[in-house]
Amino acid sequence: MQHISVIGAGTMGNGIAHVFAQNGFSVTLIDISQAQLDKAISTISKNLDRQVAKSVITEEQKASTLQNLTTNTDIAAGVSKADLVVEAATENTDLKLKIFRQIDESAPAGCILATNTSSISITKIAAVTKRPDKVIGMHFMNPVPIMKLVEIINGYATDKLVTEKITALSIKLGKVPCVVNDYPGFIANRILMPMINEAVYSLYEGVADINEIDTVMKLGMAHPMGPLQLADFIGLDVCLAILRVLQDGFGNPKYAPCPLLVNMVTAGKLGVKSGEGFYTYTPGSKDASPVKIR
């Protein structure tokens, strides 16, 4: 594999494009918005500058990485020469199915189609294509250039050779691949989201406040970040959507999202991206202050 197309120039998409380009792959970053593509390239450049400042890479490696990147606002043109397409669009089932129909029509016959989804069924996505054996989950963690894990998810029809290729590719990127099967939440979110939901319930029921809940998990369980602040970084809307996938997929009330989480998302308090969730965030600052929850 040499030609990689990444669809979606948001936080995950630009991180995925960054990692592939830094490891010598020719990358086409695709988004319907040219402004979003320009912003993504700027973000990648700034992140490369940080790596140079920390002596992780050289100026020459930074220049080479940027040379490996091109952008395109047209999906058909952007995937026409791809060996691998990684879709990293918004976590919306209808949108992802629409994108996969498009890339299936335009990508070369031997191209592998991967999705960065954190919870949507790989089997369901694969079913709208004519190549379900070549569809796989490639779930990177945020921030992509730093986090080592890639959760590789086999759909029901995913070919074993495709899984082996994506596993080897992940290692080539300097990542640690973990292969799992396609059931609601996969592994990462099947374990993580109930923990976050339980933390929200503990707050909702008045067991402890935000700072105490996060401190207990950081100092008592050696988590680098407490579950409520982690939820803010993931996006409370994303957490809610994944919990609903788990609840619908298993039909088990233990996955029912806490009413407080539902209210916060309804009110537009989505975490870091909206400036407020369980904490308030100041642009350009790493400071976060717990909010007074109503």
Sign of CA dihedral 101, 102, 107, 113: negative
263 belongs to the catalytic site = no
The DSSP letter of residue 255 is: G
> Catalytic pick from 139, 197, 202, 276?
139
Q: What is the bridge-based pairing of β-strands 26-30 and 112-115?
A: unpaired
Tokens of 262: 């539902």
Tokens of 2: 């040499």
Torsion angle (degrees, nearest 10) of CA 234, 239, 242, 246: 130
139 belongs to the catalytic site = yes
Task: Report the candidate in 249, 247, 266, 94 with the shortest Cα–Cα distance to residue 183.
Answer: 249
Q: Beta partners for 27?
A: 4, 69
The DSSP letter of residue 81 is: T
223 belongs to the catalytic site = no
Q: Residues 114, 85: contact at Cβ < 8 Å?
A: yes
CB within 8 Å of 141: residues ≥ 6 apart = 147, 148, 149, 150, 151, 188
> Catalytic pick from 87, 91, 151, 276?
151
> Catalytic pick from 121, 189, 197, 202?
189
d(CA 14, CA 65): 12
205 belongs to the catalytic site = no
> Catalytic pick from 68, 72, 118, 154?
118
d(CA 91, CA 211): 29
The amino acid occupying position 250 is: F
What residue has token string 């490696």?
Answer: 61
Q: Is 132 left (phi over 0), alpha (psi -120 to 50) or beta?
A: alpha
Residues assigned a catalytic role: 118, 139, 151, 189
